[in-house]
Chains A and B, each alone.
Chain A
Amino acid sequence: MADTKRADAFLRQAKADFKVAEFVGMPEFAARYFLQQAVEKALKAFGYAKFSGTIGGDRYIDDFFFRRHDPLQKLGAADLRRLSKNANLLRRAIILFVESFPERTAIEKIDATSASHDPREVSYRYPFEVDNAWTTPAEYNGWTAYQGGLGQVRTAVRKLLAAVADEIALTRWR
């Protein structure tokens, strides 16, 4: 049996994060941070809904998926030979699921913008370098070019949450 209770809990938190991102007056970096949180938890909810058995106990799935801020990127970039069979098949299921969205690029970008300390990477949380100068997430004005317009990103995340809710409902119904 898939772990639909845990999937539901992850999805509820994803929806709560999504609501925060919609607060009027929310600075753009913060809105995008909460959208990333929503994506991360929605993908994890999908993982729990999709797999039967106890995927939580698979250390490869824990290391490359459940304990990551950027589960899609981390699992997608993993060397297949370093993963367990379950992790490889979860990887494939997640990639195919995200591929089915017209907004897949936005979802991939949101996922890939993780809480990185690497100054070369755009971050929602820590200062980083652009054109050899330090900037902060609050000051950064390249979000649209980097990730897509905020409205477009919100739409992508809204569709993702709806699709994950459908997947959980189908799993529960069966």
Chain B
Amino acid sequence: MNKQQQIQQLVDAHARMPDEEMKTAVWIRQDKTSVCLVELLPGFADDDRIEDPVVMSAGKNFRFDLELIAGNETSLREGIQRDNKLAQDIAAGEILFGAEEGRKLQDFAKQFALADATRHG
């Protein structure tokens, strides 16, 4: 199984988690050796440091180190506003689950990616 297939399998497993609704998953920073996913999980508590990824080691079922930026919509949107790099990366990321919610998140991220580009451009 190649990297893309492993990631899709992992995302699908996350989407099937009991008692844990996932609205979207976006693969960002695709040039990294590790895998960085942004996941919108409405059931999670508010998190004012959402842009700091939780890092999990590679294992037998998933062979890459995993960086997860995961949380509810409010926290994710606030994180995007605080962290321009995150906004840019989400805007350029690949949606692997929840196309509609993913596009909404990307549209929101684009506003802040563009705003920063204009400021510094």
Contacts and interface: CB of A to CB of B under 8 A. Distances in A.
A80 B44 contact: yes
Given A89-B68, A167-B59, A82 B54 contact: no
A166 interface: yes
A93 B68 CA distance: 12
Interface in A42-59: 49-53
Interface residues of A, number: 27
Given A92-B17, A95-B17, A100-B61, A51 B47 contact: no
Contacts, number: 71
Contacts of A115: none
Contact of A80 (B20, B50, B57, B58): B20
B54 A86 contact: yes
Interface string A70-103: 0000000000111111101100110111001000
A163 interface: yes
A50 to B, nearest CB: 5
A119 to B, nearest CB: 28
Interface string B14-52: 100111100000000000000000000101110100100
- Complex A-B, nearest 5 residue pairs according to Cβ-Cβ distance, in ascending order: A52-B55, A80-B43, A171-B57, A2-B57, A167-B59
Interface of B: 13-14, 17-20, 41, 43-45, 47, 50, 54-61, 65, 68, 70-71
